[in-house]
Amino acid sequence: MKKKPEDYSHIKGWGIDADPENEPTYPIKKYTGDDHKRLSYAKPPQQPSKVEILHSNERPGLTSVFGTSSPPSGLSGLIRRHAFTYSEGNWGHWLSLILADRINVWEGIASDLMHGYIPNIFAERGWNAELKYNRKGAIQKVVTGVLVATVAAGLLYRLTRKKKKTHWL
């Protein structure tokens, strides 16, 4: 039984990234000229940007389709803006984005608490599944977290305690 080709033309923006000039298989493939006839369609209008969209400095404009559900905000947004000043081939770009993601998690938790919602972090972070399927890894994460917190608390205590001056006279 042959599988019927599905028509995705009803999905707005479908195939917009299929550029007939960019055919990476051309040197290997026997080119017949018929391959790009299926791509003769009118390009839809550019998606309007109503929020700040961060994009690579290696491309002149926005991509045809992009997400707008969570625009950059707060400290994580500041770090993201900084990350996009670097090229995508630079470590600073990717490490900054990873750091921004981690900070965004804490910003989300703080936002939940400020709006009166107490998040169930244990369930939302998947600890039940972690304990069930990767018990050793879960225990290792908890022990590492406790050790890091203990060292941080000890250093903070040492830095903030007032030194008593001793007078010999």
Read off the pLDDT of residues 9-34 as tens digits, 9 standing for 90 and up: 788 777 766 666 666 665 566 666 66
Q: What is the pTM for the complete model shown? A: 0.57
- The candidate with the shortest Cα–Cα distance to 106, out of 79, 67, 76, is 76
Burial class (CB in 10 A: 0-12, 13-18, 19+), 110: exposed
Q: State pLDDT tens for residues 54-78.
A: 888 888 788 878 888 888 999 999 9
